[in-house]
Amino acid sequence: MQQHWLKRWEQGRIGFHRDSVHPALVRHWPLLCATPGTKVLVPLCGKSLDMRWLAEHQHPVLGIELAEAALAQFVEEGPGEVSRYQQDGFSIQRQGSIELWCGDFFHFHIAQAAEIGAFYDRAALIALPEATRQRYAFHLAQLIPPGARGLLVSLRRDGEDGPPYNVSDEEIRRLFDPNFIVTHLEDGEREDNGFQESVWALVRRGPVTDEPAQHR
């Protein structure tokens, strides 16, 4: 799967990339009440412009992406000087308040996530086959502290081909309910290709919060 993903970036087959900020992020992120300065984890970030929106709204961003080409394009297309360094097996680029970690998300561990206080997933979960999605949900939970909030943009589609993959509402609850308070926020319009996005708020369960989310 990793080689397939890298090849798509090398060949420019990135139809999943948006040339604008996702409207669900703009609509729903303020409702999460993440305080300015809260560092946001963006798994499988690609070269998403959503990271720049988060940074512009006073959130340091830590994006993780396997494809070096995606991160190279992100910094080339953005403003500001870029610093580069290595840490714990990851190649890291920093541009302004955005850190881009090039490597396998599943090799990113809790010690490296010490400052993370929120997360945003627009196309990570749906990029993974069913057998890997359980592992992803569990690993994400290990990186996020109790009380931390996140926004998930998932996808329903006809058929089981992918990526992007179809992820039902039932599967989202099965994956995340053990470790998160899960709240369905909205469904997008069904597109001509049968794709329909669904948007969710997640709050990490733990000692500081095991009560109903404000959006439930």
HSE-up of 86 (CA within 13 Å, CB side)? 2
Q: 46 near 120, Cβ under 8 Å?
A: no
| pTM of this structure | 0.90
Helix (H) or strand (E) holding 133: helix 130-143
pLDDT digits (tens, 9 = 90+) for 90-122: 999 999 999 999 999 999 999 899 899 999 999
What is the distance between the alpha carbons of residues 177 and 182, in angstroms, rounded to a whole number?
6
| 143 vs 14: which has the higher pLDDT | 143
Residue 16 confidence (pLDDT) above 60: no
Instruction: List all residues 6 or more positions away from 169 whose beta carbon is below 8 Å from its beta carbon.
Output: 156, 184, 198
* Cα torsion angle, 124, 138, 116, 100, sign: negative
> How high is the mean pLDDT of the chain?
89
For the chain, helix (H) and strand (E) counts, in that order, are: 6, 9
Question: Please, which pLDDT band fits residue 1 given cuts at 50, 70 and 90?
Answer: low
User: Poorest-confidence range of 139-148, 160-169, 176-185, 203-212?
Assistant: 203-212
pLDDT digits (tens, 9 = 90+) for 68-98: 999 999 999 999 999 999 998 999 999 999 9
Residue 29 confidence (pLDDT) above 70: yes
Instruction: List all residues 6 or more positions away from 12 whose beta carbon is below 8 Å from its beta carbon.
Output: none
Looking at the DSSP bridge assignments, the partners of residue 42 are 63
